[in-house]
Structure 1
Amino acid sequence: MNGLMEMTALFLGFAGWILVNVSLQDQYWKESTTEGSVITTSTIYENLWMSCASDSTGIYNCRDFPSLLALPGYIQASRALMIAAIVFGTFGLVATLVGMQCTKIGGENYVLKGRIAAIGGMLFVLQGLCTMIAISWYAANITQEFFDQFYPGTKYEIGEGLYIGWSSATLSLCGGSCLMCACKLGTPDEKTQYPYQPPSWGNGRSAAPTSQSAAAQYGRNAYV
């Protein structure tokens, strides 16, 4: 496997894992818009866990969502997908560290290490897919409510937490793809430390006369 590509994949996967944690804790997944609103002194912003309101003086108040079952379906699905993305990313980091050639974990069995690294790449891809689906689904509902002229509730715009999530998904997908490509670039010499060479009977028969003729060139003193 290509060591440089392995390090690049590990860096991208780790950066994506960090950003998905930042995105999940960010409070600005959606922010109330001022377009068409009479009240512009207060701002409402939400994420997957709570809703907050702040005024022009900087005072803000947050409250957790009272019930999980009372939330819309896309918020519940986004929660599950984001948590699954963190779990996939954690196992992906562990598998990548074990499968890299520069680490001593797993010995020198490069076939096994390559397979473990490929599993780590697949986990990074799953992390990116879960994050991308959760973020895009959440953003689709925001835009649908924003452009609906008959929507009676508060209209929101896309917050910074979603952009962080999209960046995380992109990095995770790129890291997982690079890691799986690095595993495919391995040559047979890298996978087996001692390649097996079957004996040739023709060469074995001709080896004896050659060794005898070579020994005949020296006298008995050479063996004393």
Structure 2
Amino acid sequence: MASSCLQIFGFLLALLGLSATIAATFMVEWKKQSQGKTHKIYDGLWMSCSGYERTTCEVHESIFKLSVEIQATRAVMLLSIFLSGVGLLVSTLGMKCTRFLDGNKETKAHTALTGGIIFISAGLLSLIITSWYVSQIVHSYKLAHRLQSFEFGKAVFVSWAGSLLSIVGGVFLCYRRCSRRTDAFSVNHLLPTSQPRSNYV
């Protein structure tokens, strides 16, 4: 019962992580620039916005005109979303609270483990690419003039949160399988597998 609750908890965390990753990918505030007290410029993976009280947005039309960090971040974030979607389907099949693969418990356990690993991989991808994107902003901030440089925006924090939720959720989905292996190892080595031979005939 406890393992089933852990799987459900991990699944919900991973689902929240996927939702946060999707939201971050399409948010416009990946980096921001302030010109004065009122004029703001926001740059996202898909569009950029600028204005005073009311902002106007323009979609990035040509991929060849985009910077390397935007192209790379966009590609990896989409890959992370795709992997999380696959992990969502796979872990649903392997969870104990579902009726899929009930005839083979070993295959069901392996399926849940696979779904957890996929979620962890997706979370690591988005975590790494987001951290790299931030490092590029920090590097350009140090080189450029203060008034002409960008700072990282809210989407970065949303992406980090989604990455961590996906990783933690994946770990919880893998926990049951790992604990079963540890228990089986301990039992096999602590308990004798055969009766001791008697010296009497």
Bin of the TM-score, shorter chain as denominator length: 0.7 to 0.9
What runs of 5+ residues in structure 2 fail to find an aligned partner? 182-201
Look up the match of 1:159: 153
Q: Give the secondary-structure state (helix, strand or coil) at the position aligned to 1:53.
A: strand
Bigger mean CA deviation after superposition, 84-93 or 152-161 = 152-161
Query: Aligned residues: percent identity?
Result: 27
- Which structure shows the higher helix fraction? 2
Q: Give the secondary-structure state (helix, strand or coil) at the position aligned to 2:23.
A: helix
Look up the match of 1:50: 47
Normalised to the residue count of structure 2, the TM-score between the two structures is 0.84
Q: Does 1:28 align with 2:22?
A: no
- Out of 102, 110, 119, the position equivalent to 1:115 is 110
Q: Write out aligned runs for 1:30-179 (5 A).
A: 30-33=31-34, 39-55=36-52, 58-148=53-143, 150=144, 154-179=148-173
Normalised to the residue count of structure 1, the TM-score between the two structures is 0.76
8 Å Cα contact 1:145-1:151 kept in structure 2: no
- The structural deviation recorded for 1:33 is 3.7
Look up the match of 1:201: none
Q: Between Structure 1 and Structure 2, whose CA radius of gyration is higher?
A: 1
What runs of 5+ residues in structure 1 fail to find an aligned partner? 188-224
- The structural deviation recorded for 1:78 is 0.5
Bigger mean CA deviation after superposition, 69-78 or 167-176 = 69-78
Q: What CA RMSD, in Å, does the superposition of the two structures yield over aligned residues?
A: 2.2
Q: Give the secondary-structure state (helix, strand or coil) at the position aligned to 2:148.
A: coil
The number of equivalent residue pairs is 183
Look up the match of 1:3: 4
8 Å Cα contact 2:17-2:165 kept in structure 1: yes
